[in-house]
Protein backbone atom coordinates (compact mmCIF):
# COMPACT_ATOMS: atom_id res chain seq x y z
CA UNK A 1 0.00 0.00 0.00
CA UNK A 2 1.30 3.51 -0.74
CA UNK A 3 2.06 5.85 2.14
CA UNK A 4 -0.63 8.18 3.42
CA UNK A 5 -0.11 11.84 2.58
CA UNK A 6 -1.08 14.04 5.53
CA UNK A 7 -2.07 17.71 5.38
CA UNK A 8 -3.05 19.90 8.35
CA UNK A 9 -3.20 18.55 11.90
CA UNK A 10 -5.76 16.44 13.68
CA UNK A 11 -6.46 18.96 16.48
CA UNK A 12 -7.94 21.45 14.01
CA UNK A 13 -8.37 19.95 10.56
CA UNK A 14 -6.44 17.23 8.79
CA UNK A 15 -6.88 15.45 5.48
CA UNK A 16 -5.03 12.17 4.80
CA UNK A 17 -5.16 10.78 1.30
CA UNK A 18 -3.64 8.00 -0.79
CA UNK A 19 -4.31 6.31 -4.10
CA UNK A 20 -5.05 2.58 -4.14
CA UNK A 21 -5.30 0.00 -6.92
CA UNK A 22 -8.68 -0.28 -8.58
CA UNK A 23 -9.77 -3.90 -8.92
CA UNK A 24 -12.22 -2.98 -11.70
CA UNK A 25 -10.82 -3.26 -15.23
CA UNK A 26 -10.58 0.18 -16.90
CA UNK A 27 -13.48 -0.49 -19.29
CA UNK A 28 -15.85 -0.96 -16.34
CA UNK A 29 -14.83 2.19 -14.47
CA UNK A 30 -16.66 5.54 -14.67
CA UNK A 31 -15.37 7.38 -17.76
CA UNK A 32 -15.03 10.73 -15.99
CA UNK A 33 -13.19 9.77 -12.82
CA UNK A 34 -12.21 6.10 -13.06
CA UNK A 35 -8.55 7.00 -12.55
CA UNK A 36 -8.95 8.12 -8.95
CA UNK A 37 -9.61 5.15 -6.63
CA UNK A 38 -8.27 6.19 -3.24
CA UNK A 39 -8.75 6.43 0.47
CA UNK A 40 -9.43 9.46 2.58
CA UNK A 41 -9.57 10.34 6.26
CA UNK A 42 -10.70 13.68 7.61
CA UNK A 43 -10.15 14.77 11.21
CA UNK A 44 -11.92 17.82 12.63
CA UNK A 45 -11.10 18.91 16.19
CA UNK A 46 -9.58 15.47 16.90
CA UNK A 47 -12.70 13.65 15.65
CA UNK A 48 -12.27 11.28 12.73
CA UNK A 49 -15.41 12.08 10.74
CA UNK A 50 -14.61 9.46 8.09
CA UNK A 51 -14.43 6.46 10.45
CA UNK A 52 -17.15 3.89 9.82
CA UNK A 53 -18.37 0.71 11.45
CA UNK A 54 -20.12 -2.32 9.96
CA UNK A 55 -21.02 -4.82 12.65
CA UNK A 56 -17.78 -5.34 14.59
CA UNK A 57 -15.61 -4.19 11.70
CA UNK A 58 -14.15 -0.69 11.93
CA UNK A 59 -12.50 1.32 9.19
CA UNK A 60 -10.84 4.70 9.81
CA UNK A 61 -11.14 5.93 6.22
CA UNK A 62 -13.60 6.09 3.36
CA UNK A 63 -12.53 4.54 0.09
CA UNK A 64 -13.89 5.40 -3.35
CA UNK A 65 -13.15 7.39 -6.50
CA UNK A 66 -11.81 10.65 -5.08
CA UNK A 67 -11.83 12.82 -8.22
CA UNK A 68 -15.46 14.00 -7.79
CA UNK A 69 -14.68 15.13 -4.22
CA UNK A 70 -11.43 16.84 -5.26
CA UNK A 71 -13.14 18.49 -8.22
CA UNK A 72 -15.95 19.68 -5.91
CA UNK A 73 -13.41 21.24 -3.52
CA UNK A 74 -11.78 23.14 -6.40
CA UNK A 75 -15.09 24.15 -8.03
CA UNK A 76 -16.58 25.48 -4.80
CA UNK A 77 -13.36 26.88 -3.32
CA UNK A 78 -14.60 30.46 -3.14
CA UNK A 79 -18.00 29.59 -1.66
CA UNK A 80 -16.62 27.04 0.83
CA UNK A 81 -14.22 29.58 2.31
CA UNK A 82 -16.23 32.81 1.98
CA UNK A 83 -19.97 32.21 1.91
CA UNK A 84 -21.52 32.58 5.35
CA UNK A 85 -25.19 33.37 4.77
CA UNK A 86 -27.90 30.76 4.62
CA UNK A 87 -30.39 31.61 1.85
CA UNK A 88 -33.52 30.50 3.73
CA UNK A 89 -35.64 32.58 6.11
CA UNK A 90 -35.12 32.37 9.90
CA UNK A 91 -31.64 30.85 9.59
CA UNK A 92 -31.29 30.43 13.38
CA UNK A 93 -28.06 29.73 15.23
CA UNK A 94 -27.45 26.05 14.44
CA UNK A 95 -24.36 24.97 12.49
CA UNK A 96 -24.79 24.16 8.80
CA UNK A 97 -25.05 20.37 9.25
CA UNK A 98 -28.24 20.93 11.25
CA UNK A 99 -29.52 24.11 9.59
CA UNK A 100 -29.12 22.96 5.98
CA UNK A 101 -30.53 19.49 6.54
CA UNK A 102 -33.47 21.04 8.39
CA UNK A 103 -34.12 23.54 5.59
CA UNK A 104 -34.08 20.75 2.99
CA UNK A 105 -36.53 18.71 5.11
CA UNK A 106 -38.79 21.71 5.65
CA UNK A 107 -39.09 22.73 2.02
CA UNK A 108 -38.92 19.46 0.08
CA UNK A 109 -42.67 18.89 0.26
CA UNK A 110 -43.63 22.47 -0.62
CA UNK A 111 -45.92 22.65 -3.62
CA UNK A 112 -46.32 26.43 -3.85
CA UNK A 113 -43.92 28.41 -6.07
CA UNK A 114 -42.36 30.30 -3.14
CA UNK A 115 -41.74 27.09 -1.21
CA UNK A 116 -40.24 25.42 -4.26
CA UNK A 117 -37.91 28.37 -4.72
CA UNK A 118 -36.82 28.05 -1.08
CA UNK A 119 -36.10 24.40 -1.66
CA UNK A 120 -34.07 25.14 -4.79
CA UNK A 121 -32.04 27.76 -2.88
CA UNK A 122 -31.39 25.35 0.00
CA UNK A 123 -30.39 22.63 -2.43
CA UNK A 124 -27.97 24.91 -4.28
CA UNK A 125 -26.45 25.87 -0.95
CA UNK A 126 -26.10 22.18 -0.09
CA UNK A 127 -24.36 21.53 -3.42
CA UNK A 128 -21.80 24.23 -2.58
CA UNK A 129 -21.19 23.29 1.07
CA UNK A 130 -22.16 19.68 1.73
CA UNK A 131 -19.37 17.15 1.10
CA UNK A 132 -21.89 14.40 0.38
CA UNK A 133 -23.14 16.22 -2.67
CA UNK A 134 -19.84 15.11 -4.25
CA UNK A 135 -20.04 11.46 -3.13
CA UNK A 136 -20.72 10.16 -6.68
CA UNK A 137 -21.84 6.78 -5.38
CA UNK A 138 -19.25 6.48 -2.62
CA UNK A 139 -19.78 6.69 1.13
CA UNK A 140 -18.82 10.11 2.48
CA UNK A 141 -19.52 11.78 5.85
CA UNK A 142 -22.34 14.33 6.12
CA UNK A 143 -19.81 17.14 6.54
CA UNK A 144 -20.47 20.84 5.84
CA UNK A 145 -17.91 23.57 5.32
CA UNK A 146 -18.76 27.29 5.49
CA UNK A 147 -17.31 30.63 6.52
CA UNK A 148 -18.31 32.21 9.86
CA UNK A 149 -16.63 35.59 10.42
CA UNK A 150 -12.87 34.86 10.57
CA UNK A 151 -13.33 31.13 11.02
CA UNK A 152 -14.37 28.18 8.96
CA UNK A 153 -17.20 26.22 10.54
CA UNK A 154 -16.94 22.48 10.01
CA UNK A 155 -20.04 20.58 11.08
CA UNK A 156 -21.22 17.03 10.62
CA UNK A 157 -24.40 15.12 11.41
CA UNK A 158 -22.91 11.62 11.77
CA UNK A 159 -25.96 10.37 9.86
CA UNK A 160 -25.53 7.25 7.71
CA UNK A 161 -25.86 7.61 3.96
CA UNK A 162 -29.03 6.58 2.23
CA UNK A 163 -28.67 3.71 -0.24
CA UNK A 164 -25.45 2.50 1.32
CA UNK A 165 -24.49 -0.93 2.64
CA UNK A 166 -27.01 -2.13 5.21
CA UNK A 167 -25.76 -1.42 8.74
CA UNK A 168 -22.85 0.81 7.71
CA UNK A 169 -22.62 3.64 10.25
CA UNK A 170 -20.29 6.55 10.92
CA UNK A 171 -18.43 6.32 14.23
CA UNK A 172 -18.76 10.00 15.09
CA UNK A 173 -21.98 11.49 16.36
CA UNK A 174 -22.97 15.01 15.32
CA UNK A 175 -20.51 17.79 16.08
CA UNK A 176 -19.05 21.07 14.93
CA UNK A 177 -15.89 23.13 15.28
CA UNK A 178 -14.53 26.48 14.20
CA UNK A 179 -11.04 26.56 12.74
CA UNK A 180 -8.99 29.57 11.56
CA UNK A 181 -9.55 30.17 7.85
CA UNK A 182 -5.89 29.77 6.89
CA UNK A 183 -5.61 26.29 8.40
CA UNK A 184 -8.60 24.97 6.46
CA UNK A 185 -7.66 26.75 3.23
CA UNK A 186 -4.04 25.56 3.27
CA UNK A 187 -5.04 22.00 4.15
CA UNK A 188 -7.47 21.83 1.23
CA UNK A 189 -5.12 23.57 -1.18
CA UNK A 190 -2.15 21.35 -0.36
CA UNK A 191 -4.32 18.23 -0.66
CA UNK A 192 -5.56 19.35 -4.09
CA UNK A 193 -2.09 20.29 -5.31
CA UNK A 194 -0.62 16.99 -4.18
CA UNK A 195 -3.45 15.04 -5.86
CA UNK A 196 -3.11 16.71 -9.25
CA UNK A 197 0.68 16.74 -9.21
CA UNK A 198 0.96 13.09 -8.15
CA UNK A 199 -1.94 11.30 -9.81
CA UNK A 200 -1.82 7.48 -9.86
CA UNK A 201 -0.51 5.62 -12.90
CA UNK A 202 -3.56 5.34 -15.10
CA UNK A 203 -4.64 4.42 -18.60
CA UNK A 204 -4.21 7.05 -21.34
CA UNK A 205 -7.95 7.63 -21.64
CA UNK A 206 -7.93 9.52 -18.33
CA UNK A 207 -5.14 11.94 -19.19
CA UNK A 208 -7.48 14.75 -20.29
CA UNK A 209 -9.59 14.37 -17.17
CA UNK A 210 -6.56 14.64 -14.92
CA UNK A 211 -5.25 17.63 -16.88
CA UNK A 212 -8.62 19.38 -16.57
CA UNK A 213 -8.61 18.95 -12.79
CA UNK A 214 -5.01 20.13 -12.66
CA UNK A 215 -5.92 23.29 -14.59
CA UNK A 216 -8.79 23.96 -12.20
CA UNK A 217 -6.55 23.57 -9.16
CA UNK A 218 -3.80 25.72 -10.71
CA UNK A 219 -6.35 28.46 -11.40
CA UNK A 220 -7.14 28.74 -7.69
CA UNK A 221 -3.86 30.58 -7.13
CA UNK A 222 -5.09 33.33 -9.47
CA UNK A 223 -8.58 33.88 -8.10
CA UNK A 224 -9.49 37.58 -8.02
CA UNK A 225 -9.68 39.23 -4.62
CA UNK A 226 -12.95 40.98 -5.52
CA UNK A 227 -14.52 37.65 -6.37
CA UNK A 228 -13.78 36.52 -2.82
CA UNK A 229 -15.31 39.68 -1.34
CA UNK A 230 -18.36 39.41 -3.60
CA UNK A 231 -19.14 36.06 -2.02
CA UNK A 232 -19.26 37.58 1.46
CA UNK A 233 -20.82 40.96 0.66
CA UNK A 234 -24.02 41.29 -1.40
CA UNK A 235 -22.92 42.39 -4.92
CA UNK A 236 -25.06 45.56 -5.13
CA UNK A 237 -23.81 46.73 -1.73
CA UNK A 238 -20.21 46.00 -2.73
CA UNK A 239 -20.57 48.12 -5.89
CA UNK A 240 -21.89 51.05 -3.85
CA UNK A 241 -19.15 50.67 -1.25
CA UNK A 242 -16.43 50.72 -3.94
CA UNK A 243 -17.87 53.95 -5.34
CA UNK A 244 -18.27 55.50 -1.87
CA UNK A 245 -14.70 54.70 -0.81
CA UNK A 246 -13.44 56.01 -4.16
CA UNK A 247 -15.28 59.29 -3.58
CA UNK A 248 -13.70 59.62 -0.15
CA UNK A 249 -10.33 58.93 -1.77
CA UNK A 250 -9.77 55.61 0.01
CA UNK A 251 -9.43 52.29 -1.71
CA UNK A 252 -7.80 50.23 1.00
CA UNK A 253 -10.72 49.65 3.42
CA UNK A 254 -12.18 46.84 1.32
CA UNK A 255 -8.80 45.36 0.60
CA UNK A 256 -7.33 45.46 4.12
CA UNK A 257 -3.90 43.84 4.42
CA UNK A 258 -4.76 41.12 1.98
CA UNK A 259 -1.74 38.90 1.35
CA UNK A 260 -1.25 37.16 -1.98
CA UNK A 261 -3.43 34.25 -0.91
CA UNK A 262 -6.41 32.82 -2.80
CA UNK A 263 -8.62 33.29 0.26
CA UNK A 264 -9.41 36.03 2.79
CA UNK A 265 -7.86 35.01 6.07
CA UNK A 266 -9.11 37.98 8.09
CA UNK A 267 -12.05 39.99 6.82
CA UNK A 268 -11.15 43.68 6.55
CA UNK A 269 -13.58 45.60 8.82
CA UNK A 270 -15.45 47.11 5.88
CA UNK A 271 -16.02 43.65 4.40
CA UNK A 272 -17.20 42.29 7.76
CA UNK A 273 -19.58 45.24 8.15
CA UNK A 274 -21.15 44.95 4.71
CA UNK A 275 -21.42 41.19 5.07
CA UNK A 276 -24.17 41.67 7.67
CA UNK A 277 -26.44 44.18 5.94
CA UNK A 278 -29.49 43.98 3.74
CA UNK A 279 -28.60 43.12 0.11
CA UNK A 280 -30.36 46.26 -1.10
CA UNK A 281 -28.95 48.84 1.26
CA UNK A 282 -29.21 52.27 -0.43
CA UNK A 283 -26.36 54.39 -1.75
CA UNK A 284 -26.97 56.92 1.04
CA UNK A 285 -26.70 54.31 3.76
CA UNK A 286 -23.70 52.51 2.26
CA UNK A 287 -21.93 55.87 1.93
CA UNK A 288 -22.72 56.75 5.53
CA UNK A 289 -21.26 53.46 6.79
CA UNK A 290 -18.15 53.92 4.62
CA UNK A 291 -17.67 57.38 6.13
CA UNK A 292 -17.96 55.94 9.64
CA UNK A 293 -15.27 53.37 8.90
CA UNK A 294 -12.93 56.00 7.47
CA UNK A 295 -13.67 58.59 10.17
CA UNK A 296 -12.39 56.39 12.96
CA UNK A 297 -9.18 55.28 11.29
CA UNK A 298 -5.90 55.71 13.16
CA UNK A 299 -7.67 55.73 16.52
CA UNK A 300 -7.71 52.98 19.10
CA UNK A 301 -9.21 51.78 22.36
CA UNK A 302 -8.90 53.87 25.51
CA UNK A 303 -6.76 52.16 28.21
CA UNK A 304 -9.82 51.07 30.21
CA UNK A 305 -11.61 49.70 27.14
CA UNK A 306 -8.44 47.91 25.99
CA UNK A 307 -8.15 46.37 29.45
CA UNK A 308 -11.74 45.16 29.45
CA UNK A 309 -11.38 43.65 25.97
CA UNK A 310 -8.07 41.96 26.78
CA UNK A 311 -9.65 40.12 29.71
CA UNK A 312 -12.43 38.57 27.63
CA UNK A 313 -12.36 35.00 26.44
CA UNK A 314 -15.51 34.90 24.39
CA UNK A 315 -14.39 33.50 21.06
CA UNK A 316 -16.71 30.52 21.12
CA UNK A 317 -20.44 30.88 21.20
CA UNK A 318 -22.18 28.95 23.97
CA UNK A 319 -25.87 29.31 24.75
CA UNK A 320 -26.40 32.91 23.58
CA UNK A 321 -28.61 34.15 26.41
CA UNK A 322 -26.54 32.58 29.19
CA UNK A 323 -23.32 34.02 27.74
CA UNK A 324 -24.96 37.41 27.31
CA UNK A 325 -26.11 37.47 30.94
CA UNK A 326 -22.73 36.33 32.21
CA UNK A 327 -20.79 38.88 30.11
CA UNK A 328 -23.02 41.72 31.33
CA UNK A 329 -22.75 40.65 34.97
CA UNK A 330 -18.96 40.51 34.73
CA UNK A 331 -18.74 43.87 33.01
CA UNK A 332 -20.90 45.58 35.65
CA UNK A 333 -18.63 44.14 38.31
CA UNK A 334 -15.44 45.08 36.46
CA UNK A 335 -16.69 48.64 36.06
CA UNK A 336 -18.09 48.72 39.62
CA UNK A 337 -21.53 49.91 38.47
CA UNK A 338 -23.77 47.68 40.57
CA UNK A 339 -24.57 50.21 43.27
CA UNK A 340 -26.21 52.72 40.92
CA UNK A 341 -30.01 53.18 40.77
CA UNK A 342 -30.07 52.49 37.07
CA UNK A 343 -27.44 51.71 34.45
CA UNK A 344 -26.41 54.80 32.56
CA UNK A 345 -25.14 53.51 29.21
CA UNK A 346 -24.34 57.01 27.98
CA UNK A 347 -22.02 57.50 30.96
CA UNK A 348 -20.46 54.07 30.32
CA UNK A 349 -19.71 55.04 26.73
CA UNK A 350 -18.15 58.36 27.65
CA UNK A 351 -16.07 56.72 30.40
CA UNK A 352 -14.78 54.12 27.88
CA UNK A 353 -14.32 56.89 25.28
CA UNK A 354 -16.73 55.31 22.83
CA UNK A 355 -18.17 57.93 20.51
CA UNK A 356 -21.99 57.82 20.44
CA UNK A 357 -23.87 59.00 17.38
CA UNK A 358 -27.45 59.11 16.24
CA UNK A 359 -28.41 59.22 12.62
CA UNK A 360 -31.40 58.67 10.38
CA UNK A 361 -30.56 55.98 7.85
CA UNK A 362 -32.92 55.32 4.94
CA UNK A 363 -33.16 51.67 5.92
CA UNK A 364 -35.19 50.53 8.89
CA UNK A 365 -33.37 47.18 8.91
CA UNK A 366 -30.26 48.43 10.72
CA UNK A 367 -30.79 49.07 14.39
CA UNK A 368 -27.29 50.11 15.35
CA UNK A 369 -23.66 49.91 14.33
CA UNK A 370 -20.51 49.11 16.32
CA UNK A 371 -16.97 49.89 15.17
CA UNK A 372 -13.89 49.33 17.36
CA UNK A 373 -10.47 47.76 17.60
CA UNK A 374 -7.00 48.17 16.24
CA UNK A 375 -6.90 51.19 13.95
CA UNK A 376 -10.31 52.56 14.90
CA UNK A 377 -11.60 55.02 17.42
CA UNK A 378 -14.52 53.11 18.91
CA UNK A 379 -17.99 54.31 17.98
CA UNK A 380 -21.61 53.28 18.27
CA UNK A 381 -24.29 54.56 15.91
CA UNK A 382 -28.02 54.45 16.68
CA UNK A 383 -30.40 54.50 13.70
CA UNK A 384 -33.44 56.64 14.56
CA UNK A 385 -35.34 55.06 11.68
CA UNK A 386 -35.43 51.61 13.36
CA UNK A 387 -38.66 50.90 15.27
CA UNK A 388 -36.66 49.88 18.30
CA UNK A 389 -35.18 53.36 18.63
CA UNK A 390 -38.42 55.34 18.74
CA UNK A 391 -38.03 56.23 22.43
CA UNK A 392 -35.18 56.77 24.89
CA UNK A 393 -35.56 53.36 26.54
CA UNK A 394 -35.31 51.66 23.16
CA UNK A 395 -32.20 53.66 22.26
CA UNK A 396 -30.60 52.70 25.57
CA UNK A 397 -31.25 49.06 24.72
CA UNK A 398 -29.62 49.49 21.32
CA UNK A 399 -26.55 51.19 22.83
CA UNK A 400 -26.21 48.33 25.33
CA UNK A 401 -26.56 45.82 22.49
CA UNK A 402 -23.81 47.53 20.48
CA UNK A 403 -21.62 47.71 23.60
CA UNK A 404 -21.71 43.92 23.61
CA UNK A 405 -20.34 43.85 20.05
CA UNK A 406 -17.64 46.40 20.94
CA UNK A 407 -16.50 44.34 23.93
CA UNK A 408 -17.11 40.73 22.98
CA UNK A 409 -17.39 40.29 19.24
CA UNK A 410 -13.88 41.17 18.17
CA UNK A 411 -12.38 39.13 15.39
CA UNK A 412 -9.10 37.27 15.63
CA UNK A 413 -7.53 40.60 14.60
CA UNK A 414 -9.20 42.17 17.68
CA UNK A 415 -11.50 44.38 15.64
CA UNK A 416 -15.21 44.72 15.18
CA UNK A 417 -17.22 46.45 12.47
CA UNK A 418 -20.78 45.30 12.77
CA UNK A 419 -24.21 46.40 11.62
CA UNK A 420 -27.02 44.96 13.72
CA UNK A 421 -29.55 44.18 11.06
CA UNK A 422 -32.20 41.61 11.83
CA UNK A 423 -32.06 38.66 9.51
CA UNK A 424 -28.75 39.48 7.84
CA UNK A 425 -26.46 39.57 10.86
CA UNK A 426 -25.31 36.28 12.40
CA UNK A 427 -28.18 35.19 14.65
CA UNK A 428 -26.06 33.77 17.47
CA UNK A 429 -24.15 36.96 18.21
CA UNK A 430 -27.34 39.03 17.81
CA UNK A 431 -29.17 36.91 20.39
CA UNK A 432 -26.18 37.13 22.69
CA UNK A 433 -26.02 40.92 22.32
CA UNK A 434 -29.75 41.17 23.11
CA UNK A 435 -29.39 39.04 26.24
CA UNK A 436 -26.35 41.10 27.22
CA UNK A 437 -28.29 44.35 26.77
CA UNK A 438 -31.21 43.07 28.85
CA UNK A 439 -28.95 42.00 31.70
CA UNK A 440 -26.79 45.11 31.53
CA UNK A 441 -29.81 47.40 31.90
CA UNK A 442 -31.65 45.08 34.29
CA UNK A 443 -29.09 43.25 36.42
CA UNK A 444 -30.67 40.84 38.87
CA UNK A 445 -29.41 42.71 41.95
CA UNK A 446 -30.90 45.98 40.72
CA UNK A 447 -34.22 44.36 39.80
CA UNK A 448 -34.52 42.84 43.27
CA UNK A 449 -33.55 46.12 44.92
CA UNK A 450 -36.46 47.92 43.24
CA UNK A 451 -39.06 45.20 43.91
CA UNK A 452 -41.31 45.22 47.00
CA UNK A 453 -41.78 41.45 46.96
CA UNK A 454 -40.06 39.30 44.34
CA UNK A 455 -42.57 36.50 44.97
CA UNK A 456 -45.60 38.57 44.03
CA UNK A 457 -45.06 40.82 41.05
CA UNK A 458 -48.07 42.88 40.05
CA UNK A 459 -48.77 45.27 37.20
CA UNK A 460 -47.85 48.19 39.43
CA UNK A 461 -44.41 46.67 40.15
CA UNK A 462 -43.73 46.24 36.47
CA UNK A 463 -44.54 49.89 35.76
CA UNK A 464 -42.48 51.05 38.72
CA UNK A 465 -39.52 48.85 37.79
CA UNK A 466 -39.62 49.89 34.12
CA UNK A 467 -39.48 53.55 35.02
CA UNK A 468 -36.81 53.06 37.71
CA UNK A 469 -34.52 51.12 35.35
CA UNK A 470 -35.53 53.23 32.33
CA UNK A 471 -36.46 50.30 30.12
CA UNK A 472 -39.52 49.36 28.06
CA UNK A 473 -42.14 47.21 29.80
CA UNK A 474 -42.11 44.55 27.09
CA UNK A 475 -38.34 44.13 27.41
CA UNK A 476 -38.67 44.05 31.19
CA UNK A 477 -41.32 41.29 31.14
CA UNK A 478 -39.23 39.15 28.81
CA UNK A 479 -36.22 39.63 31.05
CA UNK A 480 -38.11 38.90 34.30
CA UNK A 481 -39.15 35.62 32.76
CA UNK A 482 -35.55 34.81 31.73
CA UNK A 483 -34.43 35.60 35.27
CA UNK A 484 -37.03 33.13 36.57
CA UNK A 485 -38.87 35.81 38.57
CA UNK A 486 -42.12 35.28 36.67
CA UNK A 487 -43.42 32.39 34.54
CA UNK A 488 -45.26 32.41 31.22
CA UNK A 489 -48.66 32.66 32.89
CA UNK A 490 -47.54 35.72 34.89
CA UNK A 491 -46.07 37.21 31.77
CA UNK A 492 -49.34 36.92 29.84
CA UNK A 493 -51.30 38.28 32.80
CA UNK A 494 -48.96 41.24 33.33
CA UNK A 495 -48.80 42.02 29.64
CA UNK A 496 -52.57 42.14 29.33
CA UNK A 497 -53.52 45.83 29.50
CA UNK A 498 -56.96 45.07 30.97
CA UNK A 499 -55.55 43.02 33.86
Asked if 71 contacts 134 with a C-beta cutoff of 8 angstroms, the reply is yes
- Piece in contact with Zn ion (CB under 5 A), picked from 44-52, 114-122, 387-395, 429-437: 429-437
| Residue 356 CB, nearest approach to Zn ion (Å) | 16
**How many CA atoms are closer than 13 Å to the CA of 201, on its beta-carbon side?**
2
Asked if 376 contacts 413 with a C-beta cutoff of 8 angstroms, the reply is no
Query: Is 389 or 420 the residue whose CB approaches Zn ion more closely?
Result: 420
| Residue 406 CB, nearest approach to Zn ion (Å) | 10
| Residue 349 CB, nearest approach to Zn ion (Å) | 16
Using DSSP bridges, classify how beta strands 379-383 and 355-359 pair: parallel, antiparallel or unpaired. parallel
Query: Is 42 or 277 the residue whose CB approaches Zn ion more closely?
Result: 277
- Piece in contact with Zn ion (CB under 5 A), picked from 64-72, 74-82, 205-213, 419-427: 419-427
- For the segment 303-342, give every residue that binds Zn ion (CB under 5 A): none
Please tell me the total number of residues recorded for the chain in this structure: 499
For the stretch 379-407, what's the b/e string if a residue is b when 16 or more beta carbons lie within 10 angstroms of its beta carbon?
bbbbbebbebbeeebbbbbbbbbbbbbbb
C-alpha to C-alpha distances, 171 to 61, 159, 262, nearest whole angstrom = 11, 10, 34
| Residue 333 CB, nearest approach to Zn ion (Å) | 23
Query: Is 142 or 430 the residue whose CB approaches Zn ion more closely?
Result: 430
- Piece in contact with Zn ion (CB under 5 A), picked from 25-33, 409-417, 433-441, 490-498: 433-441
The residues, any chain, with a CB within 8 Å of residue 251's CB and separated by 6 or more, are: 245
Asked if 269 contacts 149 with a C-beta cutoff of 8 angstroms, the reply is no
Number of H helices, E strands in the chain: 20, 15
* Coil, helix or strand at residue 7: strand
C-alpha to C-alpha distances, 99 to 125, 126, 140, 420, nearest whole angstrom = 11, 10, 19, 21
Query: Is 277 or 494 the residue whose CB approaches Zn ion more closely?
Result: 277
| Residue 322 CB, nearest approach to Zn ion (Å) | 18
389 binds Zn ion per the rule CB under 5 A = no
- Piece in contact with Zn ion (CB under 5 A), picked from 49-57, 192-200, 302-310, 426-434: 426-434
Percentage helix, strand, coil, to 5, in the chain? 45, 15, 40
CA 458 to CA 493: how far, in whole Å? 9
- Piece in contact with Zn ion (CB under 5 A), picked from 86-94, 256-264, 294-302, 412-420: 412-420
Q: Which of 420, 427, 431, 472 touches Zn ion by CB under 5 A?
A: 420
For the stretch 446-482, what's the b/e string if a residue is b when 16 or more beta carbons lie within 10 angstroms of its beta carbon?
bbeebbeeeeebeeebbeebbeebbbbbebbbbbbeb
| Residue 397 CB, nearest approach to Zn ion (Å) | 11
433 binds Zn ion per the rule CB under 5 A = yes
Asked if 155 contacts 143 with a C-beta cutoff of 8 angstroms, the reply is yes
Query: Is 191 or 434 the residue whose CB approaches Zn ion more closely?
Result: 434
Nearest to residue 33, comparing CAs of 129, 110, 127, 137?
137
Query: Is 80 or 433 the residue whose CB approaches Zn ion more closely?
Result: 433
Query: Is 103 or 399 the residue whose CB approaches Zn ion more closely?
Result: 399
- For the segment 5-24, give every residue that binds Zn ion (CB under 5 A): none
Query: Is 70 or 400 the residue whose CB approaches Zn ion more closely?
Result: 400
Give the distance from CA 62 to its chain's centroid.
29
Query: What is the size of the binding site for Zn ion (CB under 5 A)?
Result: 3
| Residue 404 CB, nearest approach to Zn ion (Å) | 7
When CB distances to Zn ion are compared, the closest residue is 420
- Piece in contact with Zn ion (CB under 5 A), picked from 82-90, 300-308, 423-431, 475-483: 423-431
Q: CB burial class (10 A; 0-12, 13-18, 19+) of residue 79? A: middle
Query: Is 62 or 433 the residue whose CB approaches Zn ion more closely?
Result: 433
| Residue 419 CB, nearest approach to Zn ion (Å) | 8
| Residue 421 CB, nearest approach to Zn ion (Å) | 8
Query: Is 12 or 420 the residue whose CB approaches Zn ion more closely?
Result: 420
| Residue 304 CB, nearest approach to Zn ion (Å) | 22
CA 499 to CA 495: how far, in whole Å? 8
Positions touching Zn ion (CB under 5 A) are 420, 430, 433
Amino acid sequence: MPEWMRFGNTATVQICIRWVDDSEPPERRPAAYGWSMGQLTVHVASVNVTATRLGTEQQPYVGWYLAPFLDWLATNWVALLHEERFPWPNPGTAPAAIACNRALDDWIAADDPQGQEQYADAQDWYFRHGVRSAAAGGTFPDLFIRRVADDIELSWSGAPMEFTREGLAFESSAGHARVPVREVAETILRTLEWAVNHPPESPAQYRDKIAALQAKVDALRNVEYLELVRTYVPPAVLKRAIVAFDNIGQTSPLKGNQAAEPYINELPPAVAMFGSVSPDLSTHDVTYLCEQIVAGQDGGDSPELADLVANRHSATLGVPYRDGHRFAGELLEDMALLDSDFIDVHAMCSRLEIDLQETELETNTIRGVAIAGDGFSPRIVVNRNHYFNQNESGKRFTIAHELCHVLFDRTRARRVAHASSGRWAAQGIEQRANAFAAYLLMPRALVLMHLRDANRIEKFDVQHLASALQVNESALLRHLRNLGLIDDVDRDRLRDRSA
